[in-house]
Structure 1
């Protein structure tokens, strides 16, 4: 095998092995009871989810005949009946005759081993590479879901082997006030066709016209959001849209979901630990409605997708669109808070080496950032082979950009589009604002 081919094969193998190592870390300390957990609309039972990961990898890497036709599983005959997420109703996943933990782990190992053998034997063909990355990024996304499931259930922080708080040593801390001025103009929104892998909702880059705007250099902090809370923001109906008021009235909350009030001040729960609110960390676990209401209170607004992406990737002296805010170098530990290294958000002034050309900080990592837009297709949208990834969610979801502290850095770039319903606040989401 040629050296260049060997390097590409090794890269795919390393990625798939690392994905699985992280998945197993995220569930390694959970009891059998915790592997099921209470039935909630916003999470899956981890026992079902690990089987689903094996099913997805097997389906696309080992069973695919065409994008619409798949062989039956040669490893687990009942795989589709148990783990097909588009056919198995969410509320039934706790009651299915699921494999035991040990059986699931064996299924996962056999699928991964067969996938690696196929890549080794067939080389990094475009098809092998595409579906290997698809399975890896799918598993990475579920890894983040495992992490916020642990937060939802007040379980301990996950035992992530990459935990490394030393990345903050000698770095700036505290707030980061002020706006970056972005001149606007014609901008290409979306992904470049030369990238080795992008999801269908990023395709393809197309020109849009963006008016000049000012965007905050950093996300909204806990201290800033607490001022909205203390000013009665949750009780002021004028600050909330009609849909936001319906959500607020049903939720009945007066501050973000994991906050609490004690005589000495506001506190927040992170996993199974409750501590005083960290004033300069970004507010997290707020939904789109809460972000929208805060903006009205502050006399600001959420950025559009085009504004967010322009602030992250524009301004390069050579006129190129940057792949990441800091340039084209893949994310490193000094650029952004990613990969679970800190097991939570850092203060918004941290990671100055990750600034965009316009001076915006942490546009990758720390917290996902809500945008104003509904999630929808770009012009000429065509679904990728995994057709259920984007198209079913167009219209009733909102866009999130940038990634969180729990997101794997290998997935991200400035054009990456995440999406969630506007009521979701279990995810690791915050927001930054624009001047009116």
Structure 2
């Protein structure tokens, strides 16, 4: 697995182009595998009103690639201007997309293949300098990340799909031989650099790097597990409004929430549906498919809270030994299978305590991969934010309606995951691969 980092500035133009070509192909193979896994009826079906048909996602990634790489960077004539509106995510909600005159499965595959041929030719000919879109191959990186994000969306659609299993992957590693030293770690007050101004493929909402002071806090060494969440359920956590925010309780009652999505109880056993398989809920895995409201209620019940976005990022990337912020919890080198559960390598989170090689200097583990982690922060611009290359990627979502998630999941690719990467969603969402960890403010007695 290869990612493009700040060292790309030192690569010769041809070497950088070769790296980009590899990333484009690697990403496309994932898209193909996710869509070739099912028949045409499944591709055009809407498996949930929350999601697009898989065939829409497939043609959409091609449409965006055509707009940005073929037309904008390459200056080439439009291939299919007639379908621009069909695949504009802002013009049609997901629930309405099945009624559109979409390209069929065969047409979609032909279209994205033609677009890719044109984009590869553009990559071969363009100079990767002289403008923000092409500097260090930014537009190509944006398209890689965009397609990988839709691949994770398609993976979530597979989870919502009914039927026999069609996706297969090896089991993740078991808990590390080196156990976590405690259930939480203390992070002392102080400043650190949040965000980035040097990551070549960082998106606009990650920029610019800026100093942030964070007060003393404690944060869990691993995400909250299913076993932890069992106790919340058994104690009546879903029936007691005192643990929930006003908005959260309203939603819990309206949606009749009583457990994470895809869980069902039979006798004394909790079962879950996972990519077509029915299995007992494993107690040692991070809980997944919970909303922000459920995460917040659990944290309140546990006498803690959700971390702020700044607390999460400081725990994930600040090295007190050097005073610097790193790309990842383990340093600046790229993710490897020993460090993080990413890229759909496995189809589930790894047990809490796995990936000892990926732990942060503060002692917390699994901050990258396994499950997206809800934070308490609203999605907002950093000081000095500038929308680029279009407002609709980030700016239109800023506000109090969206909560920030951090860290990526087992379904997130390394190209679209780093310690500065920001995801966001409505606080009611549960179909995403989201879990959480808790934080708390230490008492004065603990600090004395």
TM-score normalised per structure 1: 0.93
1:225 aligns with 2:229: yes
Query: Is the counterpart of residue 182 in structure 1 residue 187 in structure 2?
Result: yes
Are residues 169 and 282 of structure 1, via their aligned partners in 2, closer, same or farther at CA, if it must alter by over 3 Å? closer
2:436 corresponding residue in structure 1: 431
1:317 Cα offset (Å)? 1.3
Q: Match for residue 260 of structure 1?
A: 264
State the distance in 2 between where 1:202 and 1:157 align. 37
**What are the within-5 Å matches in structure 2 for residues 52-91 of structure 1?**
52-64=60-72, 73=78, 75-91=79-95
Distance in 1 between residues matched to 2:116 and 2:319, nearest whole Å: 42
- Equivalent residue, structure 2, for 1:6: 14
Partner secondary structure for residue 330 of structure 1: coil
Cα shift at 1:87:
2.2
Question: Match for 1:33 among 41, 47, 50?
Answer: 41
Q: 126-135 or 354-363, which moves further after superposition?
A: 126-135
Name the CA shift for 1:133/1:337 in 2 (closer, same or farther; >3 Å): same
Note the alpha carbon deviations across 1:20-70, whole angstroms, 9 max, x for none: 11000011121222112236442111111111110000000111279xxx9
Q: 1:17 aligns with which of 25, 32, 36?
A: 25
Matched, 1:394 2:394: no
| Contact 1:12–1:133 (Cα < 8 Å) also in 2 | yes
Name the structure 2 match of 1:205: 209
Out of 258-267 and 110-119, give the one that drifted further: 258-267
1:108-127 to 2 correspondence within 5 Å?
108-125=112-129, 127=133
Change (3 A) 1:65 1:268: closer
Q: Which residue of 1 aligns with 2:446?
A: none
SS of residue in 2 equivalent to 1:63 = helix
**Gapped runs of 5+ residues in structure 1?**
none
- Between 23-32 and 120-129, the greater mean CA deviation after superposition: 120-129
The one of 26, 33, 56 equivalent to 1:48 is 56
SS in 1 for 2:437: coil
Question: Could you tell me which residue of structure 2 aligns to residue 140 of structure 1?
Answer: 148
Provide, for residues 95-116 of structure 1, a one-character-per-residue CA deviation record: whole Å limited to 9, x for no partner. Answer: 1111111111010000011000
1:309 to 301, 305, 313: 313
Equivalent pair of 2:51/2:95 in contact (CA under 8 Å): no
Which runs of no fewer than 5 residues in structure 2 stay unpaired?
1-9, 442-448
**How far apart, CA to CA, are the structure 1 residues paired with 2:421 and 2:73?**
29
Give the match for residue 287 of structure 1: 291
Deviation (angstroms), 1:331: 0.3
Deviation at 1:373, TM superposition (A): 0.5
Q: Secondary structure of the equivalent of 2:30?
A: helix
CA distance in 1 between counterparts of 2:175 and 2:211 reads 41
In structure 1, what is the equivalent of residue 3 of structure 2?
none
Matches of 1:374 and 1:420, distance apart in 2: 10
Partner of 1:363: 367
- Runs of 4+ off more than 6 Å: 173-176
Does 2:335 align with 1:331? yes
Is the 1:174–1:280 Cα contact (8 Å) retained in structure 2? no
Which 10-residue stretch deviates more, 240-249 or 93-102?
A: 93-102
Corresponding residue for residue 152 of structure 1: 160
Tell me how far 1:71 sits from its aligned partner.
7.6
Q: Do 2:194 and 2:325's aligned partners in 1 also have CA atoms closer than 8 Å? A: no
CA 1:311–1:423 in 2, change beyond 3 Å: closer, same or farther? same
What does residue 380 of structure 1 align with? 384
